[in-house]
Chain A
Amino acid sequence: MSAYAKPVEVLIDELGRLPGIGPKSAQRIAFHLLKADRVDAQRLADAVVELKEKVAFCETCFNVAEGDECTICGDPRREQHVLCVVEEPKDIAALEKTGAFNGRYHVLLGAINPLEGIGPEQIKMRELALRVAQDDITEVIICTNPNLEGETTAAFIANKILAPFEVKVTRLASGLPVGGDLEYADELTLGRALEGRQAL
């Protein structure tokens, strides 16, 4: 049945499981690796192995970390009492680039999405409640994605998880890209920006 030798078939299959890679791309990458130097292929294989061996999730905030604690949780200069809740570690990278936030993070590792079988139990929701209870947190900034699942997760955190605590809960604002023209904004974003307008 299979058109290729078994190892090629296995590799195509494995690559095809990666996000954003369909069968055609998987095939192209597999044949590229087949033609590549042994050293290059080895380097890629080593990188994957090393990633899984050395990098894990931070035990406190679930950011990626080399060791038990990520660099942000281990940094004593960062504000201890403000938490920013994000869906994925890559969201931290985006927020860090702003340089506008000096608190700590909490990564949920997902959003509530019943269609994909993800409920609050499957993401780091319990851990968030625990941190807020133990760490004397004064403000939680919810930075989940501005889509239906992200908004639902935000509502869950605000109305259920944090309801028992005396903590300020805020949500990242929706608005217009800075440096852009109003006329190019899509109607939804512009509508939201209008709703969330601020007094000058």
Chain B
Amino acid sequence: MKLATVWLTDFRNYEQLEINLDEGFTAVLGPNGAGKSNLLESLALLATLKSFRRAPTDSLVRKGADRAIVRATGIRDDREVLIELELAKGRTRAQVNRQPLKRTRDLLGALRVTVFGPDDLALVKEGPSVRREYIDDLIVALDPPADAVLSDLDRILKQRNALLRQMSGSGDEASLLTLDIWDDKLAAAGEHLTIRRENLLVDLMPLATESYRVLSNTEVDVVAFYNRSWDTEHMAEAVADSRANDQRRGTTSVGPHRDDIVVTVDGFDSRTECSQGEQRTLALALRLAGHRLLAERLGESPLLLLDDVLSELDPDRARALLNSLPPGQTVITSAQGLPPDTVPDQVLEHRGDRLEVVKMNDLD
């Protein structure tokens, strides 16, 4: 789906805003604090109902107002779609074409989005959980029912850990028998998710390499290693082997929640052996790879939102990014303008407290 018009009411710093978005590449310019990222945040919210800055719903509502409204029309398969969100303290309501949604999962698919922001450096620099979340989010975006696999696994781990703690080291016969059952569930769900993650990485890495090469104008290879927390043929054996240890520690030591994804650039470990600039490029390449995989598999390019990405890249890489944007609708924010030879289809600029259309595509 491509967004056409977006209305904001009492969202962050915007009391009222109406903008028409171009189908192609839109640049949002303006000084720091003008509200560029807020605008991007509202667009991402239309797809995911969650702030990509991990802000609680309360902070999305303009100070002094009691609710925020985000509305947008878009075009999908030549038909108009209306998405409406009402955000208030402790309550978020969403409607698509005036039909209330029962579950947030139902919103997935109406509009799809890829977001890259300054926090995404964590994808490379931080611990394994960020990379696991990245891959799991892609799995769910490609196959929404997989959401149930993830939430089941999460609950199995909580239940198994609770049982391990109650057993406090030893445990009676009934607890041990119950543990057998949780172990079976853990091994089945865990192995399933592990294989899905590994398969996805195989499809993803060629795209990440390609994106990295274009951005950096080099011929490096980006390779990912999925490090399992178990090395037996099936996870069930590893779960059985680690039982004594798990019982002693009161926690589950094998499973997808303990796996890591190590990404290397030309053989160098990206987390410890790459420069800051290389890490930023890699983080961006990983996001773009996910974006392209979604576009390929779903036959439709998600909305691409790039928040303050240019300040993070050297001029050559910034230019390479803007000249190689994937097809589809893209919105990018920048505080310092665009590289000289880039030609956006539309430019929106914050002047004073207004967001003005500086340039519109001639076709509109």
B181 interface residue, CB < 8 Å from A? yes
Chain A 103-147 interface 0/1 with B at a Cβ cutoff of 8 Å (1 = within): 000000000111101011100010000000000000000000000
Contact B162–A114 (Cβ < 8 Å): yes
Q: Is the CB of A117 within 8 A of B145?
A: no
CB neighbours (8 Å) of B184 from chain A are 155
Give residues 144-172 of B contacting A (CB, 8 Å). 144-145, 148, 152, 155-156, 158-160, 162-163, 166, 172
- By a CB distance below 8 angstroms, the chain B residues around A115 are 158-159, 162
Write out, one digit per residue, whether chain B residues 174-190 have a CB within 8 A of any chain A CB (1) or not (0).
Answer: 11011011101100000
What are the residues of chain B within 8 A of A191 when measuring CB–CB? 145
Q: Are A160 and B158 in contact (CB under 8 A)?
A: no
* B145 x A120 contact (CB < 8 A): no
A-B contact count (CB 8 A): 53
Contact B174 A121 (CB under 8 A): yes
Residues of A within 8 A of B185 (CB): 148, 151-152, 155
CB distance from B152 to the nearest CB of A (A): 6
Cα A68 to Cα B185 in complex, Å, equals 38
Nearest CB in chain A: distance from B106 CB, A: 10
What residues of chain B lie closer than 8 Å to A113, measured between beta carbons? 159
Chain A nearest Cβ from B347, distance in angstroms: 42
- Shortest distance between the CB of A139 and any CB in chain B (Å): 22
Q: A153 — nearest CB in chain B belongs to which residue?
A: B181
State whether B145 touches A114 (Cβ < 8 A): no
B contact residues around A120 at 8 Å (CB): 174, 177-178
Task: Please give the distance in Å from A187's CB to the nearest CB on chain B.
Answer: 4
Q: Considering only CB atoms, which chain A residue lies closest to B143 in the complex?
A: A187
Q: How close is A153's CB to chain B, nearest CB, in angstroms?
A: 9
Alpha-carbon distance A151/B152, docked complex (angstroms): 11
Counting contact residues on chain B (CB < 8 A from A), the size range is 20 to 34
In the assembled complex, A159 has its CB within 8 A of some CB on chain B: yes
- Find the A residue at minimum CB distance from B144: A187
A152 to B178, CA, bound (A): 9
Q: Is the CB of B175 within 8 A of A159?
A: no
Assuming the A-B contacts A119-B175, A156-B177, A160-B181, are A148 and B155 also in contact, with contact meaning beta carbons closer than 8 angstroms in the complex? yes
List B contacts of A160 (CB < 8 A): 177, 180-181
Q: Which of B272-329 contact A (CB under 8 A)?
A: none
CA of A99 to CA of B166, assembled, Å: 41
Minimum CB distance partner of B152 in chain A: A148
Interface size on A, residues (CB 8 A): 20
Across the interface, do A159 and B178 meet the contact criterion of CB distance under 8 Å? no
Contact partner of B159 among A121, A148, A187, CB < 8 A? A148
Interface residues of A in 17-49 (CB under 8 A from B): none
Most interface-central of B152, B174, B175, B178 (chain A CB within 10 A): B178
CA distance A187 to B148 in the complex (A): 10
Q: Which residues of A contact B174 (CB under 8 A)?
A: 119-121, 125
Residues in B whose Cβ lies below 8 Å from that of A125: 174
- Whole-angstrom distance between the Cβ of A148 and the nearest chain B Cβ: 5
Shortest beta-carbon distance from B264 to chain A in Å: 37
Q: With A and B bound together, what is the CA distance between A17 and B184 in angstroms?
A: 35
Chain B neighbourhood of A188, CB < 8 A: 145, 148
Bound: A191/B145 CA distance, A: 9
Contact of B159 with A114 in the complex, beta carbons under 8 Å:
yes
Complexed CA–CA distance, A156 and B162 (Å)? 17
Cα–Cα distance between A89 and B360 once the two chains are bound (Å): 67
What is the CA–CA distance of A149 and B185 in the complex, to the nearest angstrom? 11
Task: Report chain B residues within 8 Å CB of A119.
Answer: 163, 166, 174-175, 178
Minimum C-beta distance from A33 to chain B (A): 29
Considering the complex, give the chain A residue whose CB is closest to the CB of B165.
Answer: A114
Task: Report the separation of the CA atoms of residues A159 and B160 in the bound assembly, to the nearest whole angstrom.
Answer: 18
Q: How far is the CA of A118 from the CA of B181 in the complex (A)?
A: 14
Which residues of B are found within 8 Å of A114, using beta-carbon distances?
159-160, 162-163, 166, 178, 182
Whether B156 lies near A117 (C-beta < 8 A) is no
Q: Which of B148, B166, B172, B182 contacts A152 (CB 8 A)?
A: B182
Residues of A within 8 A of B144 (CB): 187
Closest Cβ of chain A to B262, distance in Å, is 32
Q: How far is the CA of A138 from the CA of B322 in the complex (A)?
A: 72
Complex: how many Å from CA A155 to CA B166?
Answer: 21
Binding site for B on A (CB under 8 A): 112-115, 117, 119-121, 125, 148-149, 151-152, 155-156, 159-160, 187-188, 191
Question: Would you give 5 A-B contacts (Cβ < 8 Å), ordered by A?
Answer: A112-B181, A113-B159, A117-B166, A119-B178, A152-B181
4 closest Cβ pairs, A-B complex: A114-B163, A114-B162, A187-B145, A120-B174
